[in-house]
Amino acid sequence: MASFLTTCMHQIIKMDKPKELLGYEKIEKFAPEKLKKLQHHYKEILKLIGEDTDREGLHKTPYRVAKSIQFLTQGYDHDPEQILLSAKFKEDYREMVIVKDIDIFSMCEHHMIPFIGKAHVAYIPNGYITGLSKIARVVEAYSRRLQVQERLTSQIKEAIQNTLNPLGVAVVIEARHLCMAMRGIQKQNSVTTTSDFTGAFERAETRAEFISLISSKLS
């Protein structure tokens, strides 16, 4: 049975979050001191690769790259477990909750080149649920860091397991690694799939149900 969480959303959205749990809110903050240092180093890198940092097109590039890298790694400032706890609600719902096709934009920690794809996350509540958008936020918080896909997969799983203590968690990530496409072995279209499961999802039938639900199209 496909089980999408539709009940109680109204109530969930209206509930006040405790103040101390707001620390993860997405802020596009660029620490001035850090920005300056990054800018300096990126300018040096441009020179080292043989560029003329005085030419017009590159004039503001170190500044833009410095801002961009801070944006792309902002996950370090976010606490995924707090994100989940900020919207943890008692609910007697014990069917599979699935959030699929969550966009992933991450960077491989070996080459600092992007890997992009989709995450599919499911859990079976055991007395507590979380806001559906929070699952996507957790994926975001872990993917906006230097990562390897395997660790990203299990970190998402762990955060949900630790905070909601559900009957099971399942995470599948499918991603294209540009470090493979652009350099090295140049396998342009290969997709890497990783998965991690706990509890009820260790049973073959439950896992099969999840896999079939994330593979099916809604319309």
Footprint on this chain of Zn ion (rule: CB under 5 A) = 108, 110-111, 179
Asked about 110 being catalytic, the answer comes back as yes
Is 35 or 181 the residue whose CB approaches Zn ion more closely? 181
Helix (H, G, I), strand (E, B) or coil at 141: helix
- When CB distances to Zn ion are compared, the closest residue is 179
Is 6 or 186 the residue whose CB approaches Zn ion more closely? 186
- What number of H helices and E strands is found in the chain? 8, 7
Q: Where are the beta strands (DSSP E) in the chain?
A: 88-90, 97-108, 114-124, 128-130, 146-147, 168-177, 192-197
Asked about 8 being catalytic, the answer comes back as no
- Closest contact distance (angstroms) between CB of 8 and Zn ion is 42
- Closest contact distance (angstroms) between CB of 170 and Zn ion is 26
Residue 5, both tokens? 């969480």
Please choose, from the candidates 138, 155, 17, 19, the residue with its C-alpha nearest in 3D space to the C-alpha of residue 87.
17
Partners of 62 in the β-ladder: none
Q: Of the residues 40, 41, 59, 110, which is catalytic? A: 110
- Closest contact distance (angstroms) between CB of 150 and Zn ion is 12
Asked about 108 being catalytic, the answer comes back as yes
Asked about 179 being catalytic, the answer comes back as yes
Angle between helix 132-143 and 149-164 (nearest 10): 140
Asked about 109 being catalytic, the answer comes back as yes
Is 35 or 179 the residue whose CB approaches Zn ion more closely? 179
Return the active site residues.
Answer: 108-111, 149, 177, 179
